[in-house]
Amino acid sequence: MSVSVRIPTILRTYTGGNAEVSGEGATLRDVLAKLDSDYPGIGARILDESGKIRRFVNVYVGEEDVRFADGLDTPAPEGTQISIIPAVAGG
């Protein structure tokens, strides 16, 4: 199933500068695995050593924050847009 993945500026070095790339998979986990296969190293910036989404990275499937859905097992229906958004801190 094809989805579009929005890549934040800080991770675009992995995608050759592309702000959006195509992904495939039935779940977010599958999409991220394919993304890391196509763009080696990007997965380690999104997932921690235990395979969970990093604390300061937010991921949305459509309009839904996956932390409040099924996490990495959130379904990724064909045509869905997945957004990877690094948390911003400031004061």
What does the pLDDT look like over 48-91, one tens digit per residue? 999 999 999 999 999 999 999 999 999 999 999 999 999 877 66
Tell me the sheet residues that pair with 24.
2
Q: What are phi and psi of 8, to 5 degrees?
A: -70, 155
CA dist 42 and 52 (Å) reads 14
Compute the average pLDDT of residues 30-55. Answer: 97
Give all domains of the chain, ordered by start, each with its CATH number.
2-86 (3.10.20.30)
User: What pLDDT was estimated at residue 90?
Assistant: 66
User: What pLDDT was estimated at residue 88?
Assistant: 78
Distance of CA 13 to the CA centre of its chain: 15
Q: For strands 81-86 and 64-65, give the pairing.
A: unpaired
Task: Enter the pTM of the model.
Answer: 0.93
Three-class SS of residue 54?
coil
User: What pLDDT was estimated at residue 91?
Assistant: 61
